[in-house]
Amino acid sequence: MVTGDAAYIKKINRSLILGKIVEEKMISRADVSKVTALTRATISAQVAALLEEGLIVETQLEHNAVGRKPIMLSLNRQAGYALGVDLNYGKISFTLSDLLGYPVLSNHIEINTTDYSEIYKLIVEHINTYTTNCVNSRYGIVGIVIAIHGLVTKEEVIHYVPRLGWHDIDLKADLEKDINIPIYIENNANLCAFAERVYAHHKTDNLLSASFSSGVGVGMMMNSEFFCGHDGFAGEMGHMIIMPGGKPCECGNKGCWEKYVSETSVFEYLSKEKHIKHLTYEQIQTWLDEGDHQVHELIEQFLYYLAIGLNNMINMYNPDVVVLDSELLRMYPNSLDKIRENLHSSISHYRELSISSIGKESCILGACALAIKHFLDVPMLNLSLEE
């Protein structure tokens, strides 16, 4: 039984009710009472407060065969907006979503600098533009989450971004001096995992998400929380050694997983072998369609090494769901079946292995969703990309 002072209990009840309204999209007071086991009096008081705050709205159903038309509750999705920022090498992406996580505005800017002060000015400038665009909503921008392609501490300090050459940068503290909006800094792979849980896999609390683009990014949700490790640096699976004495890696070791399963490594190899400088996915697809033996053999090898690292991850964390994000996996026929064929250990347990349905947008959508979660103060969100 939960105990505590009245304010604490009220906060918990509010979180339960709001979470169910978001999850169900439309729900009656009676049904909220059933699914939360809260009394109707408690529901009425909490709903009245949420209506007054403009966070929820009432809708009367027009079609009801028998009895009174029920009054349905739903989140006021235009009451505020969340801003996700994906800070990557060479590009900064911005997405504004409503309170149900649906993107309403997106843009990106190309950058040809790694200088922190220059990039900082660009971020502030664009945040201010988005803030101005949201002034007519009740709560404006409710939170900003910035995705970092590098190590982020539990205190949300950027410890290291390899491609930008940044060390120990407190972007959060700097932004809080200039912008009066809650700011959160998070690792990009964690946000990808969060997006997969929030938008696609509602029935799991334990999820691993792995992307294989420029390197290997692994995000882990355990008991619906980020699994971050002691300092916040857990998940650097790309640097586990799968080939002792193998290819040299920028981290200083040899034989790291990402040297064998990142799309960058595949592109680099094919560019060299085929003597093509600016290789595209379309070109690789053409070779696959034409039955190019060399390309098929390379992708088969890519899948083999991917399965080796995946087997290690599954054995270490025993996840419920494993989500993979790679354009090469989408392009290659039966790629998941081929990976499963190499996951034949009798102690390798997971329920579902899938290719991401969200793709490259998962990072920035995860950022928007995390801002919403903090604002609504709910334990978890179940959102949809369908309006």
Range of the domain at 187: 81-194
This prediction has a pTM of 0.93
pLDDT recorded at residue 346:
72
Same domain, 224 and 329: yes
Please tell me the distance from the alpha carbon of residue 167 to that of residue 157, in angstroms, as a whole number. 10
Cβ proximity of 128 and 166 under 8 Å: no
pLDDT recorded at residue 1:
46
pLDDT recorded at residue 67:
61
Instruction: Tell me the two tokens of residue 278.
Output: 């600016």
What are the Cα distances from residue 86, in Å, to 170, 345, 377?
16, 37, 23
pLDDT recorded at residue 230:
84
Same domain, 255 and 155: no
Please tell me the distance from the alpha carbon of residue 278 to that of residue 267, in angstroms, as a whole number. 9
Is 11 a member of any domain?
A: yes
pLDDT recorded at residue 236:
85
Same domain, 326 and 218: yes
Same domain, 53 and 101: no
Cβ proximity of 221 and 187 under 8 Å: no
Is 365 a member of any domain?
A: no
Same domain, 126 and 157: yes
pLDDT recorded at residue 210:
95
Phi, psi of 323 (to 5 degrees): -115, 130
Strands 321-325 and 352-355, bridge-based pairing: parallel
- CATH number of the domain encompassing residue 46: 1.10.10.10
Q: Which residues of 178-205 are buried (b: 16+ CB within 10 A; e: fewer)?
A: ebebebbbbbbbbbbbbbbbbbbbeebe
The count of structural domains within the chain is 3
203 contacts: CB under 8 Å, gap ≥ 6: none
Same domain, 47 and 139: no
Instruction: Tell me the two tokens of residue 246.
Output: 């193998």
**Tens-digit pLDDT string for the chain (387 aa):** 455 588 899 999 999 999 999 999 999 999 999 999 999 999 999 999 999 999 999 988 766 566 667 899 999 999 999 999 999 999 999 999 999 999 999 999 999 999 999 999 999 999 999 999 999 999 999 999 999 999 999 999 999 998 899 999 999 999 999 999 999 999 999 999 999 999 999 999 999 999 998 889 999 999 989 988 888 888 889 999 999 999 999 888 999 999 999 999 999 999 999 999 889 999 999 999 999 999 999 999 999 999 999 999 998 899 999 999 999 999 999 999 999 988 877 766 888 999 999 999 999 999 999 999 999 999 999 999 987
Phi, psi of 262 (to 5 degrees): -80, 145
Same domain, 237 and 313: yes
pLDDT recorded at residue 234:
84
pLDDT recorded at residue 250:
83
Longest dimension (CA), the chain: 74
pLDDT recorded at residue 4:
58
Question: DSSP code of 359?
Answer: G
Is 25 a member of any domain?
A: yes
Same domain, 85 and 65: no
Same domain, 318 and 231: yes
Q: Please name which of 257, 283, 255, 279 lies closest in space to residue 268, comparing C-alpha atoms.
A: 279
Same domain, 251 and 154: no
Domain boundary among 152, 172, 194: 194
pLDDT recorded at residue 90:
94
- CATH number of the domain encompassing residue 283: 3.30.420.40
Q: At what angle do helices 188-195 and 362-376 cross, to 10 degrees?
A: 80
Instruction: Tell me the two tokens of residue 318.
Output: 């025993």
Is 387 a member of any domain?
A: no
Residue with tokens 């009676």: 30
Same domain, 178 and 218: no
Same domain, 166 and 281: no
Q: Which one-letter amino acid corresponds to residue 385?
A: L
pLDDT recorded at residue 219:
94
59 contacts: CB under 8 Å, gap ≥ 6: 26, 71, 72, 73, 74
